[in-house]
Chain A
Amino acid sequence: DDEVHVRQKVAEVDPQELADFDRELKALMQDSSEARRARPALNMAIPLNVLEGSTKDHHGRGVDGESGDETLVEEAKGNKEVRVKVLVKRGNKQQTKQMYIPRDCSLVQGTKQKEAAELEE
């Protein structure tokens, strides 16, 4: 019940500050990229079971089930968000974690379009 309406002065970002910040940010990105560009790419080792996406063997073979309750449907969050599994490494162990991302995120959209296309075929 503690709703409060503060008439806020619109925070103006100083254009000079913005320019300085962007320059530093850009420099940092470039340095980071250049330092690594020469490196040879390592071998990818993404567990195939995850790609296959079958919930059956989700708990098997080194992929543990921290992703939580599988009965949770995507629509749980009002259809604005999509549940994804994030693949992470803990030491040498692979894990998936469940997370919600907005449906309009480019990351999902590609997938959804593809899915829709596949369905039509």
Chain B
Amino acid sequence: MSQFLMPSLGADMEAGTLVERLADPGDTVSRGDVIAAVETQKGVIEIEVYEDGTLAEWLVSIGEAVPVGTPLAEILKPGEPAVEPSGPRAARQPSAEPAGTSAPAPQILPKAGAGAHPRVRATPAARRLAARLGLDLKSLEHDPNRPIYRADVPAHPNRPEPASPLDMRAAISAAMARSKREIPHYYLSHTADMTPLEDFLTGVNADRPPQDRILAAAAYVKAVAVAARKYPEFNGSFSDGSFQPAETAHVGLAVRLRGGGLVAPALFDPAAQSLDALMRAIRDQVARVRAGRFKAKELTGATITLSSLGDRGVDRLYGVIYPPQVAIVGIGTPALRPWVYQDKVMPRRTACLTLSADHRASDGHRGALFLNEIGRALQNPEAL
């Protein structure tokens, strides 16, 4: 018997609200299966189970906000007989009970909502659902000692709602203020010729239907991951006073959300993927993120971040490092500029690459080599 816990999805998360149970008691579950969805400030996060077994029992009801670490469900190991509720129930009582219904557990979500609407306490999910259905929260019956949960609002739709701009702003504020408070950033920039990449993509995409085309973002992500292999001091996390390099580079790609805010969920081991596979992963991820839906490991798995301004932006951006990571790479909008190419000044499409890195983990000299390596990888897109 083991317990499936409310996970910590970042240093800023104290609590989450169980919004979906995607398995029933008696169901066989395998490591990696998504069995629940949890609402946090960043949106609805899908949570995976980390072992094989059988779901014995749910311990938290839909709409309940509980602190990180609270058991959400009990999982029987393969072959373990189902036990009568009396034994295990007694055993779990101390941990589940205070976290569940009675104690005034720390609740990020109701607090964020309460700031915006001082009269009625309700979770953001409940507010959004009520707003969309045209319901007045004050008209809903609920226990006045706790906030209104989404489950209290009648007529549940299936589609999850993206986190509200206010919650998103609070999450960004917390992470970025911590970054600027704790991380001694240094900044580098480097201009690179993007004409070879542009020509390469034009050639690759010419005969392809739109859904199979590759965007420059896939090449940027892969170039960062490949360069990070060679310069491990930019890839990993800084915690408890020391830097821990990561074995693999998982690149968080910053995705802007309509209505405000951004998130940078992880793309896993881009260096090992073809550009086609990586492009499919990016499209899938962006579609889910824009619908307000993440996988838990995407939120916590990135070891370095990439932020690209795309082709309607400005020359350069200097990113703010997302703790506990130690580096963020920025790619400015590529534009036609005068450039010396083969001893002649010619119009070439160039872009400004930037690096913001943590001085506790690296120095500018190595940062320059790392940024140069990214630029070089983009000069040779066929090899990506």
Q: Do A and B bind each other?
A: no
Task: Identify the A interface with B (CB < 8 A).
Answer: none
